[in-house]
Chain A
Amino acid sequence: MRKVLMVLFILSVGLGLQTLAAKPIKLTFNTLFHEADAKAMEKIIQMFNEEYKGNIEVELIQGRWAQYYAELRLSVLAGTPPQIGICHTNKLVEMADYLTPLNASPVGDLIEMAGVDPANYVDAAWAAGEIEGRHYLIPLDTHGWGLWYNKDIFAEVGLDPENPPRTLAEFIDACERIKAAGYYAFHPAEDALPRKLRRAWYVFFWQMGGQLFDEAYTHATFNNPKGLLALQFLVDIFNDFGWNEPGSNGYNQFAAGKLGMLVAGNWFYGTAVKSGVNWGYAPMPNFFGTPYTWGNSHQLVIPLQPKGTPKEVYLAAMEVIKFISEHSYIWTMYGGHITAYKPAAENPELLASEYWTRSGKWLNEMAQKGLVHYPINHPKGSELEHAIQAQIELAVNGVISPQEALAKAEEECNKILQGG
């Protein structure tokens, strides 16, 4: 009998001690990344888990961006959200209800408590994270479109491979020469998927100083001479100018060495290198006034947590976010998106890397100069963009005229905004 009591006593002491001993805080980090950038984030989180072993443990789940926001919302509603997530800048208005306001969280001002300094982040990116005094986002990166060009084709047609076109005149000249040599001259929209064509139109429109919607998002403001000129230009690239053909895939053309200039995002880097083409990279040319380019920004967020989530969890999540920021030069080097954390952008390893010297630094320049234009930020953003891109695609394919396309798009957008 005594033996049994002894054993029980030891067991209970052991159990008691176990529960007293600090257990690591387990966090889940859900991202929408895939391929190269996902691998980059894996590296960073691996480093974090090693450094914080025993204290904080992060489980990284990388998803598919197609459903990411729906999944995030559903998981918040189901009461099992991740502690850290990602949010595009232009999704903030849609997602705000599902995120924790960092400066007004249930446990206090997390930004202050964690010692995060807004001055360390690119201004435009930081400012984009606030709605009515509540701040939701911590910037991770800027990413966007730039001009990729084929140096061999340039040399062949008598253009300077180290001096890609910067103005409209130079650009048209380059295109005509490349076209005369029998190549595809220019592709403004990656693989010409509907959303890419829409972005290409955005670029031309924004460069003219155009605004898609009014400040209060009550109606569309793109069915005007500027919008029309921008769309006509886009349509002509694929038709009258003869610089390319509707429905063509710029990625494929460029990788096959048949395309002179391609507008594509920084994620094209991997394919460009593998294709064996002798490529160069340049900022978006100044077609129509201000050399804006299309871009977006990934931001780190803490989704809305269930009631009663302890302070430690929030603070641990902020630790992870801070760590990621500080190590975001890895994010840029391996993932390609330009870090929005100023100290990381000065990291010597990054500055010496091939990615940076061959293309990254140009994108960074555009970001610093405020030339990366974010897309619309509205709860019905997806619907609006779908409505616009459907018409743009039809115009580019020659099914309807640009006038019709803009009129139709305006009509549909107004219906969506005004709750038709």
Chain B
Amino acid sequence: MKWIKRYGPYLVLYGVAFLWIIPILWMADTAFKPTRDIFSIPPKWIPSHFTTEHVERLFAEWPFARWLLNSLVVASFVTLGSLVVSVPAAFSFSRLRWRGRDAVFMFLLVFMLLPWQVNVIPLFFMMTKFRFLNTYQGVALPMIAMPIGVFLLRQFFINIPRDLEDAARIDGCSSLGVLLRVILPLSKPVLAAFGVYIFNYAWNEFFWSMICLRKPQMVTLPVGLKILQGAFEIDYGLILAGAFMASLPSLMVFLLLRRQIIRGFTLAGSGVKG
């Protein structure tokens, strides 16, 4: 009995975690199986031999590396852009007083509920006029405009004690000074958390990227994968090799920065506490 009490939780925890990971393991397994074994009925884990043919074809026939680069550029662009505009805005909504501030903020929030499909055609025409179609800025700008960043940051800034700010103002600090010298230094973990969250959001964004980016050289990873899948619904080796290679960057970054990332998302979640 004591044995169960001692080891039971371990079993459940590790058991559930392992089951949860099976889809990923299966994806990796399939990506390196020869086509014949992929289609074997019943499915089997150990193929006759492992092969890199799908991965090789992926890089030879598709600009996969380019897709990776595009995702990196877009996600970085969005993250930096978001930080630059959302931080002052969040500061304004949380700590500066002005007429209609809260009403405007509530109104902004509504747009968090927005599905892309509602925007897409007008955005398409707008981007055509600006000549931003098929460009990094075309994909990135609407994402930067999403209120989720302002929302998260505001929640954090609200919680920073007033006294620090008051002290700074007494010393003659302007609002800009308060932002730069008081709020920002205190918010480093929060900004990091926010950065991680936004980066992941932009990295995985699918719908607007699909509409805005048409040239195969400009396409980001999620759209590239859809192209792979849509092109030939039958080439599972290639498709899953693509899926595997596409999850590799996330996996590697995750393994390296696991603690920080988890902390970041946790903060991003808990930040809403009143």
Contacts and interface: CB of A to CB of B under 8 A. Distances in A.
Contacts of A35: 61, 231-232
A66 interface: yes
Interface string B10-43: 0000000000000000000000000110011100
B234 A191 contact: yes
B61 A275 contact: no
A75 B127 CA distance: 11
Interface in A45-80: 61-67, 71, 74-75, 77-80
Nearest to B127: A78
B215 interface: yes
Contact of A34 (B41, B121, B214, B230): B230
A61 B40 CA distance: 37
Given A193-B233, A252-B39, A74 B214 contact: no
Contacts of B35: 255, 274-276
Contacts, number: 63
Nearest to A276: B36
Contacts of A267: 232
A256 B41 contact: yes
B85 interface: no
A251 interface: yes
B39 A256 contact: yes
Given A61-B214, A61-B215, A66 B125 contact: no
B233 A275 contact: no
Given A63-B214, A74-B124, A275 B39 contact: yes
Contacts of B65: none
A277 B227 CA distance: 27
B134 to A, nearest CB: 9
A322 interface: no
B226 A255 contact: no
Contacts of B61: 35, 39
Contacts of A64: 226-227, 230-231
B216 A258 contact: no
A410 to B, nearest CB: 29
Contacts of A75: 128
Contacts of B129: 78
Contacts of B166: none
Nearest to B215: A61
B47 to A, nearest CB: 13
B56 interface: no
Interface string A237-257: 000000000000001110110
Interface string B184-207: 000000000000000000000000
A224 interface: no
Interface in B214-245: 214-216, 226-227, 230-235
A34 B227 contact: yes
Given A64-B230, A191-B234, A255 B125 contact: no
Nearest to B219: A64
B136 to A, nearest CB: 17
Nearest to A68: B214
Contacts of A270: 232
A38 to B, nearest CB: 8
Interface in B100-129: 121, 124-125, 128-129
B128 A256 contact: no
Given A63-B214, A64-B231, A74-B121, A80 B41 contact: no
A152 B210 CA distance: 43
Interface of B: 35-36, 39-41, 61, 121, 124-125, 128-129, 210-211, 214-216, 226-227, 230-235
Interface of A: 30, 34-35, 39, 61-67, 71, 74-75, 77-80, 191, 193, 251-253, 255-256, 258, 267-268, 270-271, 274-276
Question: Which A-B residue pairs are the 9 nearest by beta carbons?
Answer: A34-B231, A256-B39, A78-B128, A251-B234, A255-B39, A35-B231, A271-B234, A252-B39, A61-B215
Given A35-B231, A61-B215, A275-B36, 4 more contacts: A34-B232, A75-B128, A78-B125, A253-B41
